[in-house]
Homo-oligomer: A and B are copies of this chain.
Amino acid sequence: MSLNNEHEKLEPEQELKNVGLKATAPRMRILEIFQKAQESGNVRHLSAEDIYKQLVAENIEIGLATVYRVLTQFETAGLIIRHYFGNDRATYEVDDGAHHDHIVCTRCGRVEEFVDKEIERRQKQIAVRLGFELEGHSLSLYGVCEDCRKKERERKA
Protein backbone atom coordinates (compact mmCIF):
# COMPACT_ATOMS: atom_id res chain seq x y z
CA MET A 1 0.00 0.00 0.00
CA SER A 2 2.83 2.38 0.67
CA LEU A 3 3.83 2.12 -2.97
CA ASN A 4 0.40 2.84 -4.30
CA ASN A 5 1.05 6.39 -5.31
CA GLU A 6 3.98 5.35 -7.40
CA HIS A 7 2.26 2.22 -8.53
CA GLU A 8 -0.84 3.82 -9.93
CA LYS A 9 1.32 5.97 -12.09
CA LEU A 10 3.73 3.31 -13.23
CA GLU A 11 1.36 0.63 -14.37
CA PRO A 12 -0.33 2.43 -17.26
CA GLU A 13 2.96 4.07 -18.19
CA GLN A 14 4.64 0.71 -18.47
CA GLU A 15 1.81 -0.83 -20.40
CA LEU A 16 1.88 1.99 -22.93
CA LYS A 17 5.61 1.72 -23.42
CA ASN A 18 5.29 -2.02 -23.84
CA VAL A 19 3.11 -1.53 -26.90
CA GLY A 20 5.27 1.24 -28.28
CA LEU A 21 3.21 4.27 -27.34
CA LYS A 22 4.54 7.31 -25.58
CA ALA A 23 3.14 7.60 -22.09
CA THR A 24 1.35 10.91 -22.47
CA ALA A 25 -1.15 12.29 -20.01
CA PRO A 26 -4.29 11.68 -22.10
CA ARG A 27 -3.26 8.15 -22.90
CA MET A 28 -2.56 7.33 -19.30
CA ARG A 29 -5.84 8.85 -18.12
CA ILE A 30 -7.78 6.85 -20.67
CA LEU A 31 -5.98 3.62 -19.93
CA GLU A 32 -6.67 4.13 -16.25
CA ILE A 33 -10.35 4.48 -16.95
CA PHE A 34 -10.35 1.17 -18.76
CA GLN A 35 -8.44 -0.49 -15.97
CA LYS A 36 -10.82 0.84 -13.37
CA ALA A 37 -13.75 -0.37 -15.45
CA GLN A 38 -12.10 -3.74 -15.81
CA GLU A 39 -11.57 -4.07 -12.07
CA SER A 40 -14.98 -2.83 -11.01
CA GLY A 41 -16.22 -5.66 -13.15
CA ASN A 42 -19.40 -4.06 -14.37
CA VAL A 43 -19.03 -1.27 -16.89
CA ARG A 44 -16.43 -2.90 -19.08
CA HIS A 45 -17.80 -1.47 -22.32
CA LEU A 46 -17.19 2.22 -22.91
CA SER A 47 -17.85 4.58 -25.80
CA ALA A 48 -15.69 7.54 -26.77
CA GLU A 49 -18.32 9.80 -25.29
CA ASP A 50 -18.40 7.80 -22.04
CA ILE A 51 -14.69 8.27 -21.63
CA TYR A 52 -14.77 11.92 -22.59
CA LYS A 53 -17.52 12.65 -20.08
CA GLN A 54 -15.75 10.78 -17.35
CA LEU A 55 -12.56 12.76 -17.93
CA VAL A 56 -14.43 16.04 -17.98
CA ALA A 57 -16.18 15.03 -14.76
CA GLU A 58 -12.75 14.48 -13.22
CA ASN A 59 -11.82 18.00 -14.30
CA ILE A 60 -9.28 16.65 -16.73
CA GLU A 61 -8.99 18.78 -19.85
CA ILE A 62 -9.03 16.80 -23.03
CA GLY A 63 -10.42 17.09 -26.52
CA LEU A 64 -12.96 14.62 -27.78
CA ALA A 65 -10.87 14.22 -30.92
CA THR A 66 -7.99 13.08 -28.78
CA VAL A 67 -10.16 10.46 -27.16
CA TYR A 68 -11.04 9.09 -30.57
CA ARG A 69 -7.41 9.12 -31.65
CA VAL A 70 -6.24 7.39 -28.52
CA LEU A 71 -8.93 4.75 -28.79
CA THR A 72 -7.86 3.99 -32.34
CA GLN A 73 -4.25 3.75 -31.24
CA PHE A 74 -5.16 1.47 -28.36
CA GLU A 75 -7.12 -0.76 -30.65
CA THR A 76 -4.27 -0.97 -33.15
CA ALA A 77 -1.91 -1.73 -30.30
CA GLY A 78 -4.17 -4.55 -29.16
CA LEU A 79 -4.92 -3.03 -25.77
CA ILE A 80 -8.65 -2.80 -26.39
CA ILE A 81 -11.28 -4.26 -28.69
CA ARG A 82 -13.94 -2.35 -30.56
CA HIS A 83 -17.53 -3.54 -30.63
CA TYR A 84 -20.62 -2.40 -32.46
CA PHE A 85 -23.64 -3.47 -30.50
CA GLY A 86 -26.97 -2.12 -31.64
CA ASN A 87 -26.20 0.17 -34.50
CA ASP A 88 -24.99 3.52 -33.44
CA ARG A 89 -21.84 4.11 -31.48
CA ALA A 90 -18.73 2.01 -31.03
CA THR A 91 -17.81 0.73 -27.59
CA TYR A 92 -14.47 -0.55 -26.38
CA GLU A 93 -13.32 -2.97 -23.73
CA VAL A 94 -9.95 -4.08 -22.44
CA ASP A 95 -8.52 -6.92 -24.52
CA ASP A 96 -7.38 -9.48 -22.00
CA GLY A 97 -6.82 -12.03 -24.73
CA ALA A 98 -9.74 -14.17 -23.63
CA HIS A 99 -12.27 -14.12 -26.41
CA HIS A 100 -15.92 -13.96 -25.52
CA ASP A 101 -19.26 -13.02 -27.02
CA HIS A 102 -21.93 -10.75 -25.57
CA ILE A 103 -25.54 -10.64 -24.57
CA VAL A 104 -26.95 -7.12 -24.41
CA CYS A 105 -30.04 -5.97 -22.56
CA THR A 106 -32.23 -4.04 -24.96
CA ARG A 107 -33.75 -2.10 -22.07
CA CYS A 108 -30.85 -0.94 -19.91
CA GLY A 109 -27.87 -1.66 -22.15
CA ARG A 110 -26.24 -3.97 -19.63
CA VAL A 111 -23.75 -6.36 -21.21
CA GLU A 112 -22.87 -9.86 -20.06
CA GLU A 113 -20.20 -12.04 -21.58
CA PHE A 114 -20.04 -15.69 -22.41
CA VAL A 115 -18.10 -18.29 -24.35
CA ASP A 116 -19.32 -21.44 -25.95
CA LYS A 117 -16.73 -23.73 -27.40
CA GLU A 118 -19.26 -25.65 -29.43
CA ILE A 119 -20.51 -22.51 -31.13
CA GLU A 120 -16.96 -21.49 -31.93
CA ARG A 121 -16.22 -24.92 -33.35
CA ARG A 122 -19.26 -24.84 -35.56
CA GLN A 123 -18.42 -21.40 -36.85
CA LYS A 124 -15.10 -22.69 -38.10
CA GLN A 125 -16.80 -25.60 -39.82
CA ILE A 126 -19.29 -23.30 -41.50
CA ALA A 127 -16.54 -21.03 -42.79
CA VAL A 128 -14.70 -24.00 -44.27
CA ARG A 129 -17.84 -25.35 -45.83
CA LEU A 130 -18.55 -22.01 -47.53
CA GLY A 131 -14.98 -21.62 -48.75
CA PHE A 132 -14.00 -18.77 -46.43
CA GLU A 133 -10.81 -18.33 -44.49
CA LEU A 134 -12.25 -17.25 -41.16
CA GLU A 135 -10.74 -14.08 -39.72
CA GLY A 136 -13.15 -13.33 -36.94
CA HIS A 137 -16.73 -13.20 -35.89
CA SER A 138 -19.23 -11.18 -33.96
CA LEU A 139 -22.00 -12.79 -32.01
CA SER A 140 -24.37 -10.70 -29.95
CA LEU A 141 -27.53 -11.89 -28.30
CA TYR A 142 -30.22 -9.35 -27.49
CA GLY A 143 -32.84 -9.66 -24.82
CA VAL A 144 -34.20 -8.39 -21.55
CA CYS A 145 -32.10 -8.94 -18.46
CA GLU A 146 -33.33 -10.23 -15.14
CA ASP A 147 -33.48 -6.82 -13.48
CA CYS A 148 -35.43 -5.20 -16.28
CA ARG A 149 -37.90 -8.06 -16.39
CA LYS A 150 -38.43 -7.74 -12.67
CA LYS A 151 -38.97 -3.99 -12.96
CA GLU A 152 -41.46 -4.52 -15.72
CA ARG A 153 -43.38 -7.03 -13.68
CA GLU A 154 -43.50 -4.65 -10.72
CA ARG A 155 -44.66 -1.80 -12.92
CA LYS A 156 -47.60 -3.87 -14.09
CA ALA A 157 -48.57 -4.94 -10.58
Contacts and interface: CB of A to CB of B under 8 A. Distances in A.
Interface of A: 84, 87, 90, 103, 105-106, 112, 114, 116, 118-119, 122-123, 126-127, 130-146, 149
Contacts of A90: 87
What 4 A-B pairs have minimum CB-CB distances, sorted nearest first? Answer: A131-B146, A132-B143, A134-B143, A137-B141
Contacts of A137: 139-142
A114 B132 CA distance: 13
Contacts of A138: 138-140, 142
A130 B103 contact: yes
A122 B127 contact: no
B131 A122 contact: no
A38 to B, nearest CB: 20
B116 A141 contact: no
